[in-house]
Amino acid sequence: MGEYPLPQMHVMEISRGRYIYGAISLEKLKDLCKEDKETVNPSNLLQLYTQTVLDITYFEENQLADEDFPEDSSSQRVKELISILSDPEVLVKESNMHQDLIGVLGTELLECLSWRRGALLYMYCHTVKERGCWLTENTDLFKKCIIDGIHYLLKMLRFRYSPWLNDVSFQDTDTARLLSEGIFSDTHVLAMMYIGEMCYWGLKHSGEEKPGTHEINSESNTELYCSLHSAVLDFRDVGEKMLMKYVALCEGLLKGQDWNTANAKLILDYFKKFQS
């Protein structure tokens, strides 16, 4: 639990397993596509395709991470993976099924798609920010990856945010409070920490260490979704809100469950100094 990665051998075993499941799902998808169109539910096809994409790209993502994101090829490979993980949402929008994304793919698959894109960009930025020469030459690319990653994670956190849960009676009040905050799993908690870190990197490494907002590249194929539904992102404001909530949860309702808040507090101190 928390910010600690699985042992590498365990990760690779899971990765190979996911790839195998993806190959099996792909065969099922091929068989369904051969059936009479009138007997096949398009929503089921899109869901199976989405699961196949998630399984196969999981293997490729772990290969990239295991190779430490090679400087000569990782940028293009990350871009391709983001595009592939965006395909299911694009297909739904182009299918004229007269349903929204949640109605076709379901909340869990949509959360997975956003999480996987956001987490991939987080891992990529976490690695390349340590490459001084690369960072100097690729400031705009780095900043775009930061912004896209933040918005994918923000989007993931909003799929099941349900204020109405405050009015529902639960026997476990702590669980009720977590659900009302939109926290349904460890991944939701980790996403808040990732957002806070990426906002910190955005301020520190984007070459614009001054308060203000950052315009979003209109050519990005990312479905950007920021806290105020606007076209700009305030790294300090978004990061501070996410990390304050993260610390409050980890030292409150989730206390004793091994979540580490030390780095979050250091970044919050940086945000305060940055603001002043």
Beta bridge partners of 46: none
231 belongs to a structural domain: yes
Higher pLDDT, 237 or 179: 237
Instruction: Name the domain count of the chain.
Output: 1
3 belongs to a structural domain: no
d(CA 46, CA 52): 10
d(CA 252, CA 10): 31
Per-residue pLDDT at 192 exceeds 50: yes
Rounded to the nearest 10 degrees, how much is the dihedral formed by the CA atoms of 251, 252, 256, 262?
-10
- What are the pLDDT digits (tens) for 85-117? 999 999 888 887 767 888 889 999 999 999 999
List for the chain the helix, strand, coil content (%; round to 5).
70, 0, 30
- What are the pLDDT digits (tens) for 125-167? 999 999 989 999 999 999 999 999 999 999 998 887 654 444 5
232 backbone dihedrals φ, ψ, rounded to 5° = -130, 160
1 belongs to a structural domain: no
**Most confidently modeled of 121-125, 212-216, 269-273?**
121-125
d(CA 231, CA 266): 28
d(CA 82, CA 223): 11
**Sole residue written with tokens 């592939």:** 84
Three-state DSSP state, 15:
helix
- Copy the structure tokens of residue 233: 């992102």
- Confirm if 43 and 98 have CB atoms less than 8 A apart: no
61 belongs to a structural domain: yes
- What are the pLDDT digits (tens) for 35-85? 555 556 778 888 888 988 998 898 889 889 999 999 999 999 999 999 999
Q: How many CB atoms are closer than 10 A to CB 125? A: 25
Q: Residue 56's domain spans which residues?
A: 8-275
2 belongs to a structural domain: no
Residue (of 152, 22, 32, 45) closest to 95 by Cα position: 45
165 belongs to a structural domain: yes
- Confirm if 59 and 15 have CB atoms less than 8 A apart: yes
- Copy the structure tokens of residue 63: 């290969």
152: left (phi over 0), alpha (psi -120 to 50) or beta: alpha
